[in-house]
Structure 1
């Protein structure tokens, strides 16, 4: 309210924008922050320009909500333009689920994407290399991008890598048009790259990672057709801490031994679930060469035999969680090796291991009361640092 004093009006409406920005930032209540802009156009501008993150309501399951995923082509572009014009300071933008969003909409990022650091385009099925080119041109500060199930190829990925040199987190899962050529461009140009997801990219053998930076610490490669040479490329940077190569059921028995050949010394979590043919040669090499391992998923790894189990028990001194569900060749002797070794083991996921007798199991429980036995099969638990750095 105005004060009729001789010093002039003191209404809050006369406060400079800097003060209003501070007031807005100090609001703890979400409802207060949302209603702040209802006061007047000036306050609405303060609210809009303070927003740093936006998730558009195009998520699956919100099919009754008017969104970019349901609008016509022309409306899509107009709505997206209005969105970017209103929120000009965005650092994070999610358009995941906007299945009909066209490439032309992303051209607006050339005018409004200069501050954008994170972009999520999951299941934007109509986004192609042309749209990715607009992202590359308009978002030079981009550090994180998710292209899950997008129809982009090596050409688009190379364009992105040439412009967005600060990329740290890239999700390419189910991008079937991406091959080792695109991965090579990404890993060679973006030397700060920390996390890559290439699950179900069947055209990637892994050789594109050869010579990658030591910064690469996190790789999801579930159900990929990795070659032994590609596995060597994946670990070539020497910085990996988390590696998921599950469902490599076709790999030869020693195909993963490169992981333990000297460049996997930082690995903390390995997921080999359903790598049915991985043999003792690889297991022994990895157990010896990866001393920091904290979790190892070997569920359904049928060819791991006594030499492998004994190596795990003897060398994996930091192993806290081990998955051995449905391992056909885990016998009483192998269980004894795990029992007598692995002194830091805290959780053992074990079920349907038919070569283990009830006597051996009860003896394990008695002598290793410090180990929690769990029968349910679960995926490897991503470490705390993974969620902090790559989410």
Structure 2
């Protein structure tokens, strides 16, 4: 309260990790800090819907609000917040596990300026909620739904049809998404720059072909644990405009069909800065050495299990792989 009373012109306030912050703090901010635009309450786990009601009444200039891991927040708090803070441009709700689709309906109705929305690990969210967001927030440029495991291609379709400015999509562990959804997305969202598709286990080279044709600005792509991706998909990506001119980061951990041929294709990607190849069991040291010779600035992260040591002299003792630990 003392801080709020004496800093009435404050516009940016970061309280990330201040676990003793309570609703009374937000009441004080609401009463004295009407100019507040940027507020980070990440992991302030004691705050409740009452805080959001207070902010909506006194901090109507809020543009950026981070409520990540504030897991007491429900749809009622979101409803109160957006009615008063309709100018929100960035809203982070990671780990707010009580949120349901109805919370997104309130955002749809009031936050038409929204550019960034993070719903990571909001596990109750379904296609219904994402469709609502897409229909009400046409300016959306960044969406994180990683860990929202109920989502299907219906969400990708809604994004493609309503959010042409989308630049960042994080959809890790959304295991029901398929090539059909990403095809529609790619054909309509030509501004895409970063995509995290880790553990989107149903996608194939078809998705990479569509991205290579329609998304020339793509800079970072994670395909870790997408085990159906092959060298042929990487060929299309590396021969595309984004491959030649933009691609900087490519993550292929646990893509078991990837071989040294992929690394040969990636030699065409002259802006490439980092490649992740952990547990790509068909990639060899020789293949990595070759790409480093062509692209000396690239960082290649891979892991090769140590060779099993020979038996001890005299045949006594156990044969153990050096990468194992006996518990």
Which range, TM-score by smaller chain? 0.7 to 0.9
CA distance in 2, matches of 1:304, 1:224: 22
- Higher Cα Rg: structure 1 or 2? 1
Q: How does the TM-score come out when normalised to structure 2? A: 0.79
Structure-2 change in CA distance of 1:291 and 1:184 (3 Å): farther
Q: How does the TM-score come out when normalised to structure 1? A: 0.67
Q: How many residues align?
A: 294
Q: What is the CA distance between 1:167 and its match in structure 2?
A: 0.9
Q: What is the CA distance between 1:362 and its match in structure 2?
A: 4.2
CA distance in 1, matches of 2:257, 2:179: 14
Structure-2 change in CA distance of 1:94 and 1:322 (3 Å): closer
The alignment status of 1:191 with 2:112, answered yes or no, reads yes
1:272 counterpart (174, 186, 197): 197
Structure-2 change in CA distance of 1:239 and 1:212 (3 Å): farther
Partner in structure 2 of residue 356 of structure 1 = 283
2:76 aligns to what SS in structure 1? helix
The alignment status of 1:242 with 2:168, answered yes or no, reads yes
| Structure 2: gaps of 5 or more residues | 304-327
Structure-2 change in CA distance of 1:104 and 1:357 (3 Å): closer
1:259 aligns to what SS in structure 2? helix
Deviations 1:292-314 (A, max 9, x none): 11121222221112442222122
2:56 aligns to what SS in structure 1? helix
1:108 aligns to what SS in structure 2? helix
Contact 2:288/2:300, CA 8 A, preserved across alignment: no
1:256 aligns to what SS in structure 2? helix
| Structure 1: gaps of 5 or more residues | 1-80, 378-391
Deviations 1:345-391 (A, max 9, x none): 3433334322234554444444x2355242169xxxxxxxxxxxxxx
Deviations 1:198-240 (A, max 9, x none): 1111122332322244532222322222321112334531112
The alignment status of 1:372 with 2:293, answered yes or no, reads no
Partner in structure 2 of residue 336 of structure 1 = 264
The alignment status of 1:165 with 2:72, answered yes or no, reads no
2:117 aligns to what SS in structure 1? strand
User: What aligned pairs does 1:134-213 form with structure 2 within 5 A after superposition?
Assistant: 134-150=54-70, 151-205=72-126, 206-213=130-137
1:96 aligns to what SS in structure 2? coil
Partner in structure 1 of residue 248 of structure 2 = 320
The alignment status of 1:309 with 2:234, answered yes or no, reads yes
User: What aligned pairs does 1:11-90 form with structure 2 within 5 A after superposition?
Assistant: 81-90=1-10
The alignment status of 1:258 with 2:184, answered yes or no, reads yes
Structure-2 change in CA distance of 1:161 and 1:376 (3 Å): farther
Deviations 1:249-278 (A, max 9, x none): 453454433331222x11111122233332
Partner in structure 2 of residue 290 of structure 1 = 215
Contact 1:254/1:279, CA 8 A, preserved across alignment: no
Contact 1:180/1:207, CA 8 A, preserved across alignment: no
2:135 aligns to what SS in structure 1? coil
Q: CA RMSD in A?
A: 2.6
CA distance in 1, matches of 2:4, 2:167: 37
2:65 aligns to what SS in structure 1? strand
> Which of the pair has the greater relative contact order for Cα pairs under 8 Å at 6+ separation?
2
CA distance in 1, matches of 2:159, 2:179: 18
Structure-2 change in CA distance of 1:110 and 1:255 (3 Å): same
Structure-2 change in CA distance of 1:370 and 1:127 (3 Å): same
CA distance in 2, matches of 1:117, 1:373: 39
